[in-house]
Amino acid sequence: MVVLALLVLVTVSSPGWPRVKETFFSWPEAKASFPAIARGFLVNIKLFMIAEPIILVIGLLVALARGTRTAVMFPLRALAVVYVDLFRGVPTLLLVYLVGFGLPALQLGGIPVDTFKLGLIALTLSYGAYVAEVIRAGIESIHPDQRAAARSLGLSSGQTMRSVVLPQALRRVAPPLLNDFISLQKDTALVAALGLTPAEALRQANIYTAEHFNYTPLLVAAVLFIALTIPLARFTDWLGNRALARQYSAGPA
């Protein structure tokens, strides 16, 4: 609190504060730009809500493919490894550019040209790789004895994975998965680089800033993202605390 108070004091007492206040913290500009930015933020939410379940499915399938051990599944396992290594290594913004401008340039039939769909594809490819690794870590955290016990009861490998391993693994990785989705919610702003139509929050803020030469709309967009991120963060903390409480109440194995 002392450090925060000192930072505020230094900021408001600096020589350039009046100009910064006028440029970044103008209440009239905030009120004027808010309706358009709020409408754009609904596009961000829509993008996030559509991408999230698709990413979960892709992440789960890739994690299962990476977990296969039979020789006949080696090509699928190798493909999953290549996918994870490739899309975790490429920055998300760069991937948005490559997908958003590269795919339409191919002029192939069936490839979407809608910027919303292209942004959705880019985010899905990027975050699918991260989520796959989180789910794979959860699967590998399940003790092998549980698999052996399930097999001794007559369950097949698929039944063991579906009924024994996955329920426990997904419960364990719920907090880190939510952290990834918090990052996804923020990174929906990256599709502004494609000139998304209708414009999302960041693009709306940039448009207003360019028209009025004032950066307050950017802070308005930031506040909207924070307002959505904080409840998700608190929910993630609650899930983590709940998992710890369940673990302590269960006692040592």
- Residue 54: what are its φ and ψ, rounded to 5°? -65, -40
pLDDT above 80: residue 179: yes
C-alpha angle 90-93-97 in degrees, rounded to nearest 5: 95
Give kind and range of the element (H or E) at residue 110. Answer: none
How far apart are the C-alpha atoms of 113 and 30, rounded to whole Å? 33
Residue ranges of domains in the chain, CATH in brackets? 43-200 (1.10.3720.10)
The answer to which of 18-27, 133-142, 166-175, 195-204 has the lowest mean pLDDT is 195-204
Place of tokens 């948005």: 96
| Nearest to 203, CA basis, from 32, 46, 26, 36 | 36
Give kind and range of the element (H or E) at residue 133. Answer: helix 115-140
Looking at residue 250, its pLDDT comes to 60
- CB distance 153 to 101 below 8 Å: no
Place of tokens 């448009």: 207
Where does the pLDDT of residue 253 fall: very low under 50, low under 70, confident under 90, or very high at 90 and above?
Answer: very low
Q: Which residue has the higher pLDDT, 38 or 158?
A: 38
Name the pTM for this structure. Answer: 0.86
Interval 224-244 mean pLDDT: 85
Interval 141-163 mean pLDDT: 86
Looking at residue 159, its pLDDT comes to 86
> Would you list the DSSP string of 208-228?
HHHHHT--HHHHHHHHHHHHH
- The mean predicted confidence, pLDDT, of the chain is 89
* Cα Rg, the chain, nearest whole Å: 23
According to the 3-state scheme, what is the secondary structure of 1-63? CHHHHHHHHHHHCCCCHHHHHHHHCCHHHHHHHHHHHHHHHHHHHHHHHHHHHHHHHHHHHHH
- The token pair that represents 31 in the structure block: 């009120």
Q: Which residue has the higher pLDDT, 113 or 84?
A: 84
- 205-227 pLDDT per residue, tens: 999 999 988 999 999 999 999 99
Q: Which residue has the higher pLDDT, 98 or 248?
A: 98
How many Cβ atoms are within 10 Å of 214's Cβ, its own excluded?
20
DSSP label of 73 = G
| Nearest to 103, CA basis, from 117, 86, 93 | 117
The answer to which of 4-8, 56-60, 153-157 has the lowest mean pLDDT is 153-157
Interval 15-28 mean pLDDT: 90
pLDDT above 60: residue 251: no
Interval 146-150 mean pLDDT: 87
Helices (H) and strands (E) in the chain, counts: 12, 0
